[in-house]
Amino acid sequence: CFPAVELDPHYVRALLRRAELYEKTEKLDEALEDYKAVLEKDPSVHQAREACMVSLSLSKEKNLHVHHLQICKLKDLGNLVLRPFGLSTENFQVKQDSSTGSYSINFVQNPNNNR
């Protein structure tokens, strides 16, 4: 895809252009890797330093969004299994013990009354 980088992996300008292309096509992890490679080869490239910070921030944001979607899908699956019993995931309350880090799960009969 990027023969200049394949021919010379130390070619900073080609790495920078590939990183920009990755960024435009929303391949943020790949862009971040290329920006890091640019900074390893030439720490004075301001564009790479700035883009690296922005990419890292966007990557974290994307991961949080994906995590939220996964939790929603798990809740939907749990509700599908619990529905025949007249229950939902709202009937279960999860609490973390701050001293041990372990979790406890409590059953709540009427979850809408406890809020």
Q: pTM, whole model, 2 decimals?
A: 0.51
- pLDDT score of 1: 64
Written as tens digits, the pLDDT of the chain (115 aa) is: 677 777 777 788 999 999 889 888 888 888 888 899 999 999 999 888 888 777 667 777 888 888 889 999 999 999 999 999 999 999 998 899 999 989 999 998 887 775 5
Which neighbouring-strand residues pair with 107?
Answer: 92
**Angle, nearest 10°, between helix axes 28-41 and 46-82?**
150
Q: Which of 93, 85, 86 is nearest to 111 (CA)?
A: 93
Contact 51, 19 (CB under 8 A): yes
- Is residue 30 one of the residues assigned to a domain? yes
CATH number for the domain spanning 63: value is 1.25.40.10
Domain that holds residue 44: 1-83
The total number of structural domains that make up the chain: 1
- pLDDT score of 60: 78
Contact 100, 112 (CB under 8 A): no
- pLDDT score of 111: 78
As a dihedral over the C-alpha atoms of residue 51, residue 55, residue 57, residue 59, rounded to 10 degrees, the angle is: 180
- Is residue 113 one of the residues assigned to a domain? no
